Amino acid sequence: MSLKQEMPEQKPEERIGNFDEVALGYTEQQAVIEAGRCLECKNPQCVAGCPVNIDIPGFVSRIKNKDFDRAIGILKESNALPAICGRVCPQEEQCEKFCILGKKGQPLAIGRLERFCADYERDAGVKSPEKPKSSGKNVAVIGAGPAGLTAAAELAKAGHGVTIYEALHEPGGVLTYGIPEFRLPKDIVRQEVDYIRNLGVDIKVDYVIGRIKTLDELRDEFDAVFVGTGAGLPRFMRIEGENLNGVYSANEFLTRVNLMKAYRFPDYDTPIKCGNKVVVVGAGNVAMDAARSALRLGAEEVTVVYRRSEAEMSARIEEVEHAKEEGVVFNLLTNPVRILEGENKTVTGVECVNMELGEPDESGRRRPIPIEGSEHVIDADIIIVAIGTSPNPVIFAGSEELETTSKGTIVVDEDAMSSLAGLCAGGDVVTGAATVISAMGAGKQAVATINRYIENRS
């Protein structure tokens, strides 16, 4: 069984000194060799594992034949943002998990091939899309993350006038404010956004719905509304000392770094403090991004503290491996109980307990239980809390009640329609924090519903 082609990467000791992309991408030769490993199965399992069912053997075989234009064409039939998905999808849980090659050896590097095609197209110059014939209908999209951008693109292709309202000053959602440059260069996100603008979509940044306009007003003004506002509200641990100076939510830390470019202070005005000893609480992609950003900002020691074990960590495997290579320390089965206070209400450390795994809980994962008497202190001057987020309720301010769950997510039916007619929702605001590709899939599905809704009413 052959091994997959190694991804060319910046060396760990080099890359912790910069914010440039870590994974450099396959060369053409590597891509062709890798594509050659594909068995082109009659009944490809990988396709079923992809949330948007890309014709994987189809695009891979075109790479093998060096027909890269056709390969990217096939990808784009199912996935509008392959340059992004190829970089950030958790392939090991999706397409690659089901690849038959993985049964005996390493699965095909589908994500890397996807990225190769998208980068190839970018280098060759993306063609501007044709503007479709106008339907005379107008749709509002709230939030310019993967869900909203995908929905906007699909709506525009259907001929509707589309206005995106985005709260921040840059479109992209988590792709812009959350995922760091070294994993997803912002030029790529900007290029995808430009493509959507070229479809005729009007993107209004600096518009916080619920404040400048209400959902109700938008429902009156437009023929339909799509809500893709994500899950941006950071959760804290509710332990002593959590409001001390030096405690950040991962959202704040990453927003300062990515959206505000604090890593280029003082050329950019927004400051950040990363300290010498940083503790990151949590073990998802968000925690890995925060930990690796802290290293790059100059922290001497970065420790990830997580109450479960490695098997339960939700981050992409590649990111965990990268973090380890870069020197991030993992204190697993460890849970913070108290943040310690020094002078001027500043953090000096965090008291933790060790945990052991008990019976499975509602999530199906084994429940962590504190071990009595195992309290210990980890010194820290910065603590970054990355234990999850939920939907930001600001969008609902001043509007008719919409059905939501106890977790604050919007309730939708199988067609992505909410409890209010003509209002669809998708992405993290419906599922809670999930993935880029699932948010995109939801955006696309909602558009099918919106198109039907608009047609039925006219």
Ligand X SMILES: Cc1cc2nc3c(=O)[nH]c(=O)nc-3n(C[C@H](O)[C@H](O)[C@H](O)COP(=O)(O)OP(=O)(O)OC[C@H]3O[C@@H](n4cnc5c(N)ncnc54)[C@H](O)[C@@H]3O)c2cc1C
Binding-site ranges for ligand SF4 (CB under 6 A): 50, 52, 54, 56, 79, 85, 89, 91, 94-95, 110-111, 114, 437
> Per CB under 6 A, which region of 52-60, 300-308, 410-418, 425-433 contacts ligand X?
425-433
Q: Is 455 helix (H, G, I), strand (E, B) or coil?
A: helix
Q: Is 297 in the site for ligand X (CB under 6 A)?
A: no
146-157 vs 436-457: helix axis angle to the nearest 10? 40
In angstroms, what is the minimal distance from the CB of 87 to other proteins?
23
Q: Which positions lie near other proteins, rule CB under 8 A?
A: 167-169, 204-208, 211-213, 232-234, 236, 238, 242-243, 245-246, 248-249, 251-252, 255-256, 260-261, 264-271, 273, 344-346, 392-394
Q: Is residue 328 a contact partner of residue 302, using CB atoms and an 8 Å limit?
A: yes
If the CB atoms of residues 24 and 268 are measured against other proteins, the closer one turns out to be 268
Binding at 91: pick from ligand SF4, other proteins, ligand X, none (beta carbon under 5-8 Å per type): ligand SF4
If the CB atoms of residues 31 and 95 are measured against ligand SF4, the closer one turns out to be 95
Binding at 273: pick from other proteins, ligand SF4, ligand X, none (beta carbon under 5-8 Å per type): other proteins
> Per CB under 6 A, which region of 69-77, 282-290, 322-330, 448-456 contacts ligand X?
282-290
Composition of the chain by helix, strand, coil, percent to 5:
40, 20, 45
Alpha-carbon distance values, 11 to 47, 289, 325 (Å): 33, 17, 9
Q: Is residue 170 a contact partner of residue 205, using CB atoms and an 8 Å limit?
A: yes
Q: Is residue 171 a contact partner of residue 207, using CB atoms and an 8 Å limit?
A: no
Q: Is residue 21 a contact partner of residue 185, using CB atoms and an 8 Å limit?
A: yes
Q: Is residue 334 a contact partner of residue 365, using CB atoms and an 8 Å limit?
A: no
**Nearest one of 245, 256, 325 to 293, comparing CA atoms:** 256
Cβ neighbours of 457 (radius 10 Å): 11
Q: Is 88 in the site for ligand X (CB under 6 A)?
A: yes
Burial letters for 379-391: b for 16+ Cβ neighbours within 10 Å, e otherwise? ebbbbbbbbbbbb
Q: Is 86 in the site for ligand X (CB under 6 A)?
A: no
Sole binder of ligand X in the list 166, 192, 223, 381 (CB under 6 A): 166
If the CB atoms of residues 92 and 217 are measured against other proteins, the closer one turns out to be 217
**Nearest one of 315, 322, 332, 271 to 297, comparing CA atoms:** 271
Q: Is 174 in the site for ligand X (CB under 6 A)?
A: yes
> Per CB under 6 A, which region of 33-41, 236-244, 352-360, 389-397 contacts ligand X?
389-397
In angstroms, what is the minimal distance from the CB of 195 to ligand SF4?
17
Binding at 144: pick from ligand X, other proteins, ligand SF4, none (beta carbon under 5-8 Å per type): ligand X
Q: What are phi and psi of 280, to 5 degrees?
A: -110, 125
Binding at 329: pick from ligand SF4, other proteins, ligand X, none (beta carbon under 5-8 Å per type): none
